[in-house]
Amino acid sequence: MLTVFGRKTSSNVQALMWGVGELGLAYERHDCGEVIGGLDTPEFQAMNPHRRIPVLVLENGEALFETAAILRFLAGRNGSETFWPADPVARAKVDMWADWAKNDIAANFTGPVFWRTTRTAPERQDSAAIALALENFEAELATADTRLAEHSYLCGAHFTLADIMFGHVLYRYFDTGLARKPTPNVLKYYEKLAQRPAYQEHVMVSYDALRNTF
């Protein structure tokens, strides 16, 4: 059985758990991080010296960290040919969209937008910074909207690792009441993801505990 360390409200943990759910893997998860604590113990630092979540401990006791690296490991070990192809070129095409999603979608939303709005108390919010961050994020989202006008999923006809790296951000984007620009193809795609049981269980999670914590 796999062991996951990380709180269920962490977006990175959610991406990992969604992947675990899609692959149908047995697991147990231990809450840790932020107010829960547990990252400064010698035991956790032995698993991840950077003291960040998630961490995945394999059946043999080996510990892995960094969400994208863990998901690629699990995809290579347990995924289908369509989820993460064996062919190097086909795999690279999934990886390039997965990396874009991590570096240009998640990184432009979680800190710059979600933390500045939902996680920051209204009296401390910087409206100009939020507006600029949302503009930058939605400029990247427009790329996905164009892509999804022609494809069912980010990499084509099949659900892949790239959809996990991209799609886990969308629940909070569409749920938090932001003044959003129209992205009809992304919205349709999100509504399709929201029908997946693993997405419902691991991504569509209440974030009320994160509100106004800064």
Tell me: the pLDDT tens digits for 7-21?
999 999 999 999 999
pTM (two decimals): 0.96
Q: Please, are residues 121 and 214 in contact by the beta-carbon 8 Å criterion?
A: yes
In order along its 214 residues, the chain shows pLDDT tens digits of 999 999 999 999 999 999 999 999 999 999 999 989 999 999 999 999 999 999 999 999 999 999 999 999 999 999 999 999 999 999 999 999 999 999 999 999 999 999 999 999 999 999 999 999 999 999 999 999 999 999 999 999 999 999 999 999 999 999 999 999 999 999 999 999 999 999 999 999 999 999 998 8
Give every CB contact of residue 68 below 8 A, 6+ residues apart in sequence: 98, 99, 102, 165
| Strand, coil or helix: 104 | helix
Q: Which amino acid is located at 15 in the chain?
A: A
Per the document, the length of the chain is 214
Could you give the CA distance from residue 123 to residue 100 in angstroms, rounded to a whole number?
33
What is the rounded distance in angstroms from the CA atom of residue 158 to the CA atom of residue 148?
Answer: 12
- Taking the C-alpha atoms of residue 15 and residue 198, their distance in angstroms, rounded to an integer, is 10
What percent of the chain lies above the pLDDT cut of 70? 100
Q: Which long-range contacts (C-beta less than 8 Å, at least 24 apart) are formed by 153-157?
A: 153/189, 154/97, 154/101, 155/93, 155/94, 155/97
Euclidean distance between CA atoms 60 and 130, whole angstroms: 45
Residue at 152: amino acid letter: S
- The domains found in the chain, sorted by start residue, are 2-78 (3.40.30.10), 88-196 (1.20.1050.10)
